[in-house]
Amino acid sequence: MRAWEYYYKEVEIINKISVSDKWYDQRILYKNRLINKPIEIGAAIDTNAFSGDLPMPTGPCPFKGKSNEEKFRMCGVQRGWTPSQAYGAGVITNVTFNQTSGPKTLQMNKYIAEDFKAICNEILQLGFFKLNVGNCFRTSLSAGGKSLHQIGVAVDINPGRGGNPWFSCRIPKTQPEPSPGSTPWGMKSCPYHGGYDRSICVWHWGHPVVRIFLNHGWGWGGSYGDVMHFSITGN
């Protein structure tokens, strides 16, 4: 079997078990992109820093107050790993959590699972927010191949049309909550968005959903326009 054929098969397997059907079009795009610009398979893992199973983060907000490098160590991963490295290291697992429509199962880094489930429950307790988690672990080469989705420590909340699209600029921390129905920033995608709705959109730093993630020590992609994106570092 030629190298690219092996690579395709490995990527196909990961995609089939990690991406839901509604991302079908993206899944095909990811496969093509990965084949045309392959990334390293089976690169060496720094066993001095990450060897064997780590203690599961416990207690409320285990990532709060930790440096980014500490957070990566707590999750058994390294910055810049490929999906194959994360999957091969055994840190990716199925996690069931609650969202507005009921329980949902996605693949993610096992070390963020309990904290993320607690975050979801806090969001649901707000009573007004319609929580839909789009994806977590995936094999895309977004952000130049350095997306934290590729090691399962990032999630997208109410992504895309009708929720949280890409913006063409960062969200200033001084920006007040948008008025209902307004679109105060340029959008890179979702041109048919109906405007701000606080029950599905998180377009400002003061939104209760953003504040819940920040209180748990996570970061928000609003600092560079990716308003759907939350991760343990914000990147």
Q: What is the 3-state secondary structure (H, E, C) of the chain?
A: CCHHHHHHHHHHHHHHHHCCHHHHHHHHHHHHHHHHCCCCCCCCCCCCCCCCCCCCCCCCCCCCCCCHHHHHHHCCCCCCCCHHHHHHCCCEEEEEEEECCEEEEEEEECCCHHHHHHHHHHHHHCCCCCCCEEECCCCCCHHHHCCHHHHCCEEEECECCCCECEECCCCCCCCCCCCCCCCCCCECCCCCCCCCCCCCCCCCCCCHHHHHHHHCCCEEHHHHCECCEEECCCC
Which of 59, 128, 112 has the alpha carbon at shortest distance from 230?
Answer: 112
Strands 154-157 and 229-231: antiparallel
> How high is the pLDDT of residue 17?
38
pLDDT under 70: residue ranges of the chain: 1-52, 140-145, 190-192
> How high is the pLDDT of residue 86?
92
- From residue 235, give the alpha-carbon distance in Å to each of 80, 154, 220: 11, 9, 8
> How high is the pLDDT of residue 186?
80
* pTM for the full predicted model: 0.77
What number of CA atoms fall less than 13 Å from residue 52's CA on the CB side? 1
> How high is the pLDDT of residue 54?
86
Query: What region, left, alpha or beta, does residue 145 occupy, with left being phi > 0 and alpha being psi -120 to 50 degrees?
Result: left
> How high is the pLDDT of residue 40?
40
> How high is the pLDDT of residue 140?
66
